[in-house]
């Protein structure tokens, strides 16, 4: 018996299921609201101090390892796209509080509260 397959075939592994779950968390209403609140709280990149670049919200403790912290505003920080990309390029796979603190020591400016 010949079987013809039309369209995409998706094989779901534990890894792809985890990615789908992380995507659902990342796009949930509670995380979206928390990100908006953090952008209002920080108002600029907390690494370089840039105010005029588009801002992104970074999870200090990554969602993949700490999904329960995904919407905790104390786990979120605002970075410009350049600083956010640099961090992930430098520490991909090693994300967490220790590496983020090292990154801020190495690359961040001392930003005072206004």
User: Is the separation of the CB atoms in 47 and 104 below 8 Å?
Assistant: yes
Q: What is the mean pLDDT of the chain?
A: 83
Question: Is residue 114 one of the residues assigned to a domain?
Answer: no
| Residue from 110, 97, 100 nearest 48 by CA | 110
DSSP 8-class letter at 52 = S
Q: Is residue 3 part of a domain?
A: no
Residue 69 lies in a domain: yes
Instruction: Confirm whether 28 is domain-assigned.
Output: yes
Q: Are 113 and 42 in contact (CB under 8 A)?
A: no
In a domain, 53, yes or no: yes
Please determine, for residue 95, whether its predicted confidence score (pLDDT) is greater than 50: yes
Q: By residue range, what is the domain housing residue 75? A: 14-107
Q: Is the pLDDT of residue 21 over 60?
A: yes
**Residue 4 located in a structural domain:** no
Does 7 fall in a domain?
A: no
Number of structural domains found in the chain: 1
Average pLDDT over residues 22-29: 85
26 or 4, which is more confident: 26
């Amino acid at each position: 018996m010949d079987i013809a397959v039309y369209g995409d075939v998706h094989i779901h592994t534990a890894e792809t299921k985890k990615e789908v779950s992380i995507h659902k968390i990342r796009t949930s209403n509670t995380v979206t609201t928390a990100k908006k609140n953090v952008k209002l709280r920080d108002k600029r990149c907390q690494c370089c101090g840039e105010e005029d670049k588009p801002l992104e919200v970074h999870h200090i403790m990554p969602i993949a390892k700490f999904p329960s912290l995904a919407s905790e505003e104390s786990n979120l920080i605002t970075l410009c796209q350049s600083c956010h990309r640099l961090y992930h390029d430098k520490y991909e796979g090693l994300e967490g509080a220790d590496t983020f603190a090292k990154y801020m020591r190495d690359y961040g400016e001392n930003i005072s509260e206004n």
